[in-house]
Amino acid sequence: MMLDQQTFITVVGATPLVSLDILMVRGGCEVLLGLRNNRPAQGFWFVPGGRILKNETINQAFLRIAKKELGLELLGKNSQLNVTFYGNYEHFYDDCFAGDVGVSTHYVVLAHKVDVPENTPLPAGDEQHIAFKWWSIQEVLQSKEVHQYTKNYFIQG
């Protein structure tokens, strides 16, 4: 069930959202980032991800987000991809999906790393991302265009 916009703004303003991010790593040295088209983090390069819907398991959410945002069937019966839980994180934004309407967003993020082969192509853009690009980890850490929350996934410590 999808909530109407005003109800969802009320939910976002009152509770944290549970989401998952997909750290797709190609050949062990490049990560896939999308240029965010929507708030929050609009205009920044960010790993793909999304919120977990009511009555949706983490695995179901992972599969839905991978298919919707990346066009990938990541965990099919014949998948050879290595998917590992990467950790839990928190993201705090001053705005929300509806713009700067005085409502902040708090995500509890379950990050998952997906190792993909060196020849994995770029996915097409979607409604969440203007474009996708493979970045070296070093580029991710040095770029002002990459959101700090994405950088945090790759900072050792």
Residue closest to 154 by CA, chosen among 10, 3, 21: 21
In a domain, 144, yes or no: yes
What is residue 122's predicted lDDT score, i.e. its pLDDT?
Answer: 85
For residue 110, give its domain range: 16-148
In a domain, 129, yes or no: yes
In a domain, 73, yes or no: yes
In a domain, 153, yes or no: no
In a domain, 155, yes or no: no
What is residue 51's predicted lDDT score, i.e. its pLDDT?
Answer: 95
Count how many domains the chain has: 1
Averaged in consecutive runs of 10 residues, what is the pLDDT profile of the chain (157 residues)? 87 96 94 95 96 94 89 61 91 94 96 91 83 96 98 85
What is residue 145's predicted lDDT score, i.e. its pLDDT?
Answer: 98
What is residue 109's predicted lDDT score, i.e. its pLDDT?
Answer: 98
Residue closest to 56 by CA, chosen among 68, 65, 69, 47: 65
pTM of this prediction? Answer: 0.90
What is residue 77's predicted lDDT score, i.e. its pLDDT?
Answer: 53
CATH number at residue 37: 3.90.79.10
In a domain, 9, yes or no: no
Residues near 49 by beta carbon (within 8 Å), at least 6 away in sequence: 19, 20, 21, 22, 65, 69, 109
In a domain, 10, yes or no: no
In a domain, 30, yes or no: yes
